[in-house]
Each structure stands twice: as C-alpha cells, then as structure tokens.
Structure 1
Amino acid sequence: MNECRFIAASGMLGIGVPEDSLRKSLEIKPHFVAADAGTTDAGPFALGKGVCAFPREAILRDMTILLRNTVPAKIPLLIGSVGTGGADVHVDWFMEIVREVAAAEGLQLRVAEIRSEQSKDFLRQKFREGRIRALDPAPHFDESTIERSVRIVGMMGVEPLQAALETGVDLVVAGRCSDPALFAAMPIMMGLPHGLAWHAGKVVECGASVCEKPSHGMIVGYVRHDEVVIQPIGPGLRCTPQTVAAHSLYENADPFFFTEASGVLDISGTTYEQMEDDISVRMQGSRFRAADQITIKLEGAELVGYQSILIGGIRDPFILGEFDAWLGRVQLRVRESVEKVFGRSLEALNARIDYHAYGRNGVMGNLEADRAHVPHEVGLVVEATASDQKTATALVQLTRQPLLHQPTTKWKGSITGFACLHNPSHIERGPVYTFNVNHVVLPESPVSMFRTTFTNIEGAAHATV
C-alpha cells in the first residue's frame, strides 16, 4: 500500500515532547516527523521584538529529544514558524540551539534554513505593481505601512518545504509557515491526494489537542490514496469522529473551506469514522482545489510605543458598590493631574491610560453583559502607553495617588481603598507592538519569496553551503 506515515511530535514546540511516546511512535517507521513552533496567538511582540514566546531552555529541551531520536534514524524533521514569529532573527536564534544540541549529542546533520522575512524594497515594488491585496478584515496598507513595520514575514506553503526535502536534509528549519503545510508537503511529494494530505495537516497541527482529553503524547498519521488515519500514541489519549471533525473546523471563518497558498481545502464532503481500535479515526472525501494564482499571506508588526503598568486590588464594599462612578472620578483626577504636570492633555501627548478591572469587566471590556453583579473584590491593571518609556512611566505614576485615596460617597473622611501589588508600584513593560498587515502577495512562484540555505553541522562545527 502506498502511504505516507508521519508523527506530529508536539502541538507547539516548547510545551514538551514526551520521549517515551516519541520512541513508541517511531516503531511505525515514519517518513518524517514535524512540529509547529510559532503562532500569531501569542500576539505581535514576538515578531516585532524578534523574540520567542517560550524560554530558550524549553526549546532546547524539545529539540534535544527530537534530534537525538530522528537524526540517527535518518528520519527528516520539519520545524515551522521557528521562534514564534518566524522572522530571520528567529531562524538565526533557532539555529544556535540546533548547533548546541548537535554538539552535546555528537550529531552530524544537514539542515535546510528557509527564511520568510520580506525586504521592504521587495514589498514596495509589489505594492506599486498592484500585487498586494487586502484580506478581510485588514488595516489600511500603503508604503508608509511598509516603512513603519519592524518586520514583515510571508507564510510559506508546501513548495519551499518540498524543495528542501528533495535534497535529503535531516532537518528543515522554516521561518513563518502554514501549520498544515508541514504535514502536507511530503505526502503530496509522494503522489498522494492533496485534499487528504492538507486535511491531515489541519487535524494534527496542534498535536494531542485533537484528542478527547488532550495530554502529552504523539499523533501518528497515515495518508493513503483513499483515506487518512489519525492515531494517538500516549497514555489515555483517544480520538473520536467528533474530536477530529471539531479540530477540522477551528480557527477559520468558514467551517468547510480553508485557504492555503496554493489553493483551498474543501472538507464539506469529508466523513469521519471510528476505527476498530476505538482510539483512531478514519477520514475520507477531503478535496483540494488548486488556485489559479498563488497567494502568500503577509504578517507585519510595528512599534506602538512604550508602556508602564500598575497592578492593585480593591476590596472595599463601598467602592465596589459604586465602582463605575468611583473609577470615573479617578480617571478625571488623573487627566487633570496630567495637564498640570505636562501642560498638555493625554491626546496632545499622543498617549493613553487604560484601566482593566478584573472581576468586573477586565476580560470582556465593554462587551461584558453582567454589569449589575457586585463582586467582593476587583483587580485593577492600569496601563499607560506613550511614545517613550519615561513618559509612560510618569503617566502611570500619576494614577497611584488618586487610586489610593479617591473618596466614596458612602464614607466621610479620608480612605485608602486600593492596594498596590508591587513596590515600587509601577512596572516598565518596554516596547509595545501591534499587527499592522493582513494582506497577501501575488508572487511569481510559490518559492520566489523564500530563501533557502543548507548547513552541514558536525558536532560544534558547521558550514553553510
């Protein structure tokens, strides 16, 4: 039977790779092992600042386990969207970890580094050619957006991964990458149906999250000409038609059609069936419609400013009984204080102060439906954002005194109704970023926007080809 066997080693590199489950999974003799390592769920900071959302120690641990098991067995390992953001700085950072693992484990391996960060000159050219199109929704985009951006990456599909795999590498270190593409690339190379390959990737991209009770373990996939079989490997893990179908739907505006760089995955006719072992699921009927024009999704981040915060709590029942009015009076006093100190309003300073009341509406904000309930305590996070750190810190410092001593209508005399969590009360968060691009490029080819180099690593030594 012509089939492609693979292992989804982790739903997100950094959360842990159980070595016992990995070794058991390797008994199927997989054609490849893959794991996603990035996401926009973590926010724009990783892309803007050029850092990873996970500590280096966590990535080092997971890569040590993966490389020590895949390289000696000659099983290609694919890691996508490295360093969370998938920019060039993340690829460089990740390769340092790879070299450290190789030295510690005495491994020799050939690595394909695929870079997805886009140059501003290239993007300006494509914009002038009318080859950058907005998705829905999308912020305004023009050449000034390109200039303001700290980094912009393109999301690769299967083609750059396939080009790397064809050279026989041991490891693919990919910049920003479609999650399902990591798992669809090789089955499609082997001549298996695109629809089944893409759907397999969609289902396993988050690892054991496709199970009834997600826990640590592996997900093994079998892509064949007429079916995909999804099998969990790990204590207590079980997939059902419901869990697999549910995972097929999430994170998309349309439950049946999923757009990738090279086309659209159509699962409107897919069937899901429990296998005889009662933990695996068979999928059939998934289709893929090739696009007339390849599109590469762009993600960008720009600096918003600098931020300082203050965290504290309120338990006074009189304050909580009139909390909205009380906080409104605090905000008014703070605004007056800002104008006295700086001689200008918050708006003139191009700054803002936000108040997040956890226990009240800190999560939902203005969308909170239950505003009548009076909690017994509220945690308040005050967030000052300005064009420089010094101003942001000064602004948040001006909120402390009003919060501490703002009177309530239910009590005569001075009060202290706010407890600061830290001393000093303020914390400097540093630079703050925002996503500013949700567009696609119409490229010349599926690989033209991505740069691949090959590195031979022998223990501590390495050479780039």
Structure 2
Amino acid sequence: MTKEQLRIVSPNGHLGFAPTKEESFHIAAATKPDYYCCDSGSDDIGAAALGADRSVSMYQWQKHDLELMLLASREQNVPMIVGSAGDCGTKSRVDLYVEIIKDLAKEHQLPPFKIAYFYSDVDTVYLADRIKEGTRIEGLDNREDLTKVDVEKTTRAVAVAGIHPYVKALEMGADVIIGGRSSDCAVFAAPAIFEGFPEEHAYYLGKVLECASFCAEPYGAKESVIGTITHNDVKVTAMAPHQKCTIASVAGHAMYERSNPYFEYFAGGMLDMTHCKYEQYDEKTTRITGQKYIPIQGDTKIKIEGSGKVGEKYIGIAGVRDPYTIQHIDKVIQLSKEQVKEEFPTTNYHLNYRIFGKNGVMGEMEPIRDIQSHELGIVVEGIADTKELAEAITLMGTRQIFYARLPEVKGTAGTAAFIVDEVLPSTASYSWTINHTLPVKDPMSLFELNIETIQETIKV
C-alpha cells in the first residue's frame, strides 16, 4: 500500500565538510523520520579532489557525521543514504566510508544490517572508445564536444549517478547505502520515487534538501531540516530552534545556482519550477506545489566529470604597506613576472598573483569606494612540472615583489614589502577536463553496485 507521506531528514549540506550540528540533528531524530539522507560531495570544491583521489574534508568530521546518521537510523531501523562519498565520490572514497561504517558497527555492537555501495569511476579508455565509435559526448556550460585530446589530459573520471543505483539498492533491501559520485538531488529523490511518490515532488524534494539548512533563515550551515513529501506537495521544516523555512528562504535556495533558475536537469528529465507556489504552512515550514517533471525522450544521458593534472604547486605570501608601492602594484606584479620569465625562459610554468585589499576590497573586484588600502596581501601561486621547479618559480615570483624597480624610489626608502622567506607546498594543481554528458542505453551500466551484510560482533 502506497504511503500517504514520507519524511526525510537532511542533516548537512555536505557531510564531513564541517561537522553536523548535533542539537538540531537530535531534534530531527526524535521526530522519527523515514530516511536519513545526506550528500557528501560536490564539484564546487574544484578539480583537485577528483584528480588527486582524495578528500578535502577531515576524516574525524566525516566519521562524526556518519556516526550520527548510522546510530539514529539503526535505532529506528530505517534506511540511511549517503551520496558522493568522501567529497569526490571515487572508489577509494566509497571504500573509506564503507570501512568507517563497519568500524562503527563493531564499536557500537550493532545488530546485523545490509550495506550497499556503488562505484562511479569511469575508465578513460572506455570514453576514448566511445568517441572512436562515433558517440557524441556533449559538453556542458558551453564546452565543445569531448575529444580524444580531452580524454588524454584526464587523470581520473567519474560518472554522476541519478536515482537508479539507489533505487536498485533499496529494492535489494539495503539498510545503509554509500554512493559514489551522484547528483545531489538523487540522494533524496531516489527513496521518494522508490516509495511511490510522484517524480515532480521527489526531485523538488531533492533540490530543496540537498544543502540542508541553506534553505532556512537566518543563515546557518550544518543544521538539520526535514522534507515531507506527499502525492500533492512538498513541505520543508527547519529543525534548529533559531531557524525557519520561509517562502523567501526556500524559494531563494531552489533557484540560487541555476543559469535558468526555473529549470533543473537530471539524467532522465527536467524539473520545471516555473509555476511553483510557495506557502507559509506554519511558523517553521514552507509548502511547495506546482512543480512539474518533464521526461527526456531517447537515451539517458549521464554527466561525466573528469580532472587532469596541470602540475605541482607552491604558494607564496607577500604583504605590502608602502603607499607608493600599493599605488603602483600592477606595475610591481608585471615587473615580478618579467623577472621570473627571464630566469626561466624555456620552462613550462604558470604563475598567478591574487591581490587582497586592492582598492579597499578583496581580490580583483571593482572598488566599493575610491580609497586606497593601507596594506595588501598577495598570494602567489607557482605551478610547474616538478615540485623543485614549482618551488623555485614561486619563490622567485614572491621575492621579486620586494625587488621591483619602481621609478622615483631612492635606495630602499619606501620599499616596505615584507614576505614569507619560504614558500609553502600545496596540493598539485588540477583542472576540469570533462564536464560532458554521455548517452547510455542502461542508466546502471556505469555503476558497479555491491551489497553485503555487516554481522554483529559479539563482545568477549
């Protein structure tokens, strides 16, 4: 028998990125939701995590958030779902989360439960073969179609799962699901669709819950919210005592990141939010109706993300207080670049200067008012093929800020630029090489799904 409603708690907009706030989580858990769901990754963090196959979140924070969800969901005997494991959703990150779940089960002596997990990694050879056979792999965000050259530049690639592996895992009786790279919305839409609720409400539910308390006001991250789906509407309720889900906060969140804020695309269709109606249901809850889901005809298209290594990177930091140097900082940077080029005429490198405090505001933004900062902070990024070269280029580029030969400067008078004498090693630099959609006949074909039972460990 189809349920009349389903309640899903979203405790964190990015599991592990910063710790989940426990007070609002326990308030949510006390209401006995039907599912505990959380997204744990994003391409917003940049290409380095995927390229380097690493997390950008602290292990302890990841474990903290997984532990909260696991213990609450096992106590209630309801499913727990986490997508895009470990920030980038690669196989190693999925395995990391599965191992954490097993360790927690042992530590807390949990009764047996089924854990399903899937991998999203895509072999670049496979992508090259699809191009060779004539498959058009269309670019997103104004990119050209994927080429063999793009694939050759790619260090690592993942497919972005929709609802399909999650629904399949639920059909197999999974109690805990750890997903590889996934659509943020799919983590929440999948259980709603599995339970028989309309796609238009399920996908909107995913859209509004993916960032947790970002859909509430006043602004506050890492607080829990609960989404309630029926066959007629979606409601979203803030759990933190100081927050409310208002018409403005919910509508604003639903539309904030789209080039066309009224449409959201998924693997098999499109969510049309043009005619959404927002109502203040109660003091902490907003009700949403009017959204539509439009299926896309033909093959399913799965988004592929790929990252390629640019080079090793070092970072230098410089501070400038001299008014004359600040006034001519663009010339100082140009002179510094010229000195590096003169020292490394045949070396392949990238050198970037980020100026903070210029014109009274941060970075390269337009000035808010016509004032001159009393101090600039300059971050120098040097990238080259080896660590040794990257360090040398960054050191040279940073120190040349101090040695820049400006006109009208007599001796060392006024050249009050102070620098960090040693530059700092950084994670290697990566760039996005693939942001494309791949047509597939079977939406499960790119995802390897596994399921096993975690047995209770008997205390000795």
Q: TM-score, normalised to structure 2's length?
A: 0.92
The residue number in structure 2 matching 1:52 is 55
Within a 5 Å distance, the mapping from 1:170-181 to structure 2 comes to 170-181=175-186
Identify if the C-alpha distance between structure 1 residues 195 and 375 changes in structure 2 by more than 3 Å, giving closer, same or farther.
Answer: same
Instruction: Return the match for 2:44 from 37, 41, 45.
Output: 41
Please name the residue that 2:150 is paired with.
145
Give the deviation of 1:360 after TM superposition. 1.5
Deviations 1:251-306 (A, max 9, x none): 2111111110010001111100001x311011111110111131100100000011
Question: Is 1:4–1:186's contact at 8 Å kept on the other side of the alignment?
Answer: no
Answer whether contact 1:104 1:459 (CA < 8 A) is retained.
Answer: no
Q: Say if 1:257 and 1:266, in contact at 8 Å, map to a contact too.
A: yes
Per the alignment, residue 316 of structure 2 pairs with 310
Give a deviation string over 1:2-28, Cα, whole Å, max 9, x none: 111111121111122334433332344
Structure 2 residue 297 is matched with structure 1 residue 292: yes
Q: How does 1:213-292 map to 2 (within 5 A)?
A: 213-215=218-220, 216-275=222-281, 277-292=282-297
1:17/1:310 CA distance change after superposition, 3 Å: closer
Confirm whether residue 411 of structure 1 aligns to residue 409 of structure 2. yes
2:19 counterpart SS class: coil
Instruction: Work out which of the residue numbers 162, 170, 185 in structure 2 matches 1:165.
Output: 170
Q: Secondary structure at the match of 1:331?
A: helix
Aligned partner letter, 2:447: F
Following superposition, the deviation at residue 400 of structure 1 comes to 4.4
Give the aligned partner of residue 387 of structure 2.
389
SS in 2 for 1:325: helix
Decide whether aligned partners of structure 1 residues 66 and 331 sit closer, same or farther in structure 2, where only a CA change above 3 A counts. Answer: same
Question: Once the two structures are superposed, what CA deviation does each residue of 1:122-149 show, in whole Å capped at 9, x if it has no partner?
Answer: 2223222314222232256322322331
Aligned to 1:24: 27
| Residues matched between the structures, number | 449
Q: Deviations over 1:177-220 (max 9, x none)?
A: 11111111122122211101111110111001100113353211
> Given the two structures, how large is their TM-score scaled by the length of structure 1?
0.91
Contact 2:340 2:397 in 1 (8 A): yes
Aligned to 1:3: 5
Distance between the aligned counterparts of 1:156 and 1:450, measured in 2? 8
Distance 1:371 1:435 in 2: 36
Q: Runs of 5+ in structure 2 lacking a partner?
A: none
Amino acid at match of 1:376: H
Question: What is aligned with 2:124?
Answer: 120
Distance in 2 (alpha carbons) for counterparts of 1:232 and 1:134: 37
Match 1:449 to one of 441, 446, 449: 446
Are 2:436 and 1:439 equivalent residues in the alignment? yes
Residues 310 and 255 of structure 1, relative CA distance in 2, 3 Å threshold: same
The separation in 2 between residues aligned to 1:387 and 1:184, in whole angstroms, is 43
* Percentage of pairs with the same residue: 28
Give the distance between the partners of 1:430 and 1:19, measured in 2 at CA. 32
Instruction: Tell me how far 1:351 sits from its aligned partner.
Output: 1.1
1:96-142 superposed Cα distances (whole Å, 9 cap, x missing partner): 22222122112233111111111223222322231422223225632
Residue 427 in structure 1 maps to residue 430 in structure 2: no
Distance in 2 between residues matched to 1:184 and 1:242, nearest whole Å: 23
For structure 1, which segment, 207-216 or 392-401, has the greater mean C-alpha deviation from structure 2 after superposition? 392-401
* Residues 1:89 and 1:371: Cα distance change in structure 2 (over 3 Å): farther
- Counterpart in 2 of 1:132? 137
Contact kept? 2:356, 2:363, Cα under 8 Å? no
- Relative distance call for 1:79 and 1:314 in structure 2 (3 A) is same
Q: 1:21 to 1:324 in 2, by over 3 A?
A: closer
The two structures, once aligned, show a CA RMSD in angstroms of 2.1
The CA deviation string for residues 331-383 of structure 1, in whole angstroms up to 9 with x for no partner, is: 333333x14xxxxx2xx311122222111179553x64669642111011122
Q: Give yes or no for the alignment of 1:73 onto 2:76.
A: yes
Question: Any gaps of 5 or more consecutive residues in structure 1?
Answer: 340-344
> In structure 1, what is the Cα distance between the partners aligned to 2:363 and 2:379?
14
Q: Secondary structure at the match of 1:149?
A: coil
Residues 214 and 321 (structure 1 numbering): CA distance in 2 closer, same or farther, change over 3 Å? closer
For 2:397 and 2:22, how far apart are their aligned partners in 1?
50
Task: Give the match's secondary structure for 2:155.
Answer: strand
- Measure how far apart 1:224 and its partner are: 0.7
